[in-house]
Amino acid sequence: MISSSNKLIAITGSSGFIGRQLIKALYKNDLKLLVRSVDYSNPVKQIKCDLNSLDIPFSCFSDVSTVFHLAGVAHDMRDASKNKHFYHKANVDATVRLAKLAVKSGVKRFIFISSVKAGGNPGFKMCASEKNQGDPEGIYGDTKREAELKLLEIGRESSMHVSIVRPSLVYGPNAKGNLQLMLSGIKKGWFPPLPEIGNKRSMIHVDDLVRVILLTADDDRANGEIFIATDGTPHSSREIYNAMCSALGKSIPKWSVPKFLFDIASLINPRIKYKLNKLLGDECYSSAKLEALGFKAQKTLKDMNETNF
């Protein structure tokens, strides 16, 4: 168990949205952070390690029992095809090198934070499980999936426990990306009230995701497995909009922009169509496999008003 380990726990991506929350949950443990630049004001042990250039010290996992690998190139809405080599180097090559070094260093458990993009967009209004493996979404999904497969192979060929977590859309304090953009738009008054079209989108609060990460590290049944992480309840885009209004203390509009206006806008430009599909489309995933380990989300969209976006 992590809580009783007298060895170090190594974390990559500790300065990110999820990483910061993971550190808070592990504050009673001895930690070693693999960082691009050392923060000398931080009392936690740090090792300079630039994954983008594959500059990884051989000693970085000395006396480490568990590795949580969160670092990587995040999903980017811009054209990633121009940076294919960069994505592969950061998301695949660095991950494989870390895992092989972990095996050589005697690390017992290696937890990789991947993405639902590695399994592709389920579509057809179904909530996809880990068994519904489609084509990964974009270069980001491709590289995450390739890293998953290579990690599982490394795990099978060694005695190291390897678990993979695929988070759905993560919300919580200081969330970034599209959620932050949407919240900012609502706050400033330019984001339109969305229509209720009954679409299904999966999400998970960052606190619950951290609980998932720790569970898959502790439970031997998680060895060699991939787990999708959601709060167990699909949400429509309008429900997310309403929750954000409540979080901001704003009254929820009783009207909405008709769906056909969004449809017309999507015909104007392929980029607009892509963004509207991301906003109003279905991205629903099942976390039944994770729930079979005993996981149950403690946060819902109703708790969004307790977060400080």
Please tell me the distance from the alpha carbon of residue 114 to that of residue 86, in angstroms, as a whole number. 17
How is residue 171 written in tokens? 């919300």
Asked if 171 and 206 count as a contact pair (C-beta separation under 8 A), the reply is: yes
The four Cα atoms 191, 193, 197, 202 give a dihedral, to 10 degrees, of 50
Kindly tell me the burial class for residue 36, based on how many C-beta atoms sit within 10 Å of its own C-beta (0-12, 13-18, 19 or more): middle
Which of 40, 87, 140, 285 is catalytic? The answer is 140
Residue 140 designated active-site? yes
Kindly tell me the burial class for residue 165, based on how many C-beta atoms sit within 10 Å of its own C-beta (0-12, 13-18, 19 or more): buried
Residue 11, SS3 per DSSP: strand
How is residue 8 written in tokens? 């170090």
Give the start-end residues of each E strand in the chain: 8-12, 31-35, 45-48, 64-69, 109-113, 161-167, 169-171, 203-205, 225-229
How is residue 155 written in tokens? 């795990």
How is residue 64 written in tokens? 């480490």
CA angle, 78 as apex, 73 and 79 as ends, to 5°?
95
Which residues carry out catalysis?
Answer: 140
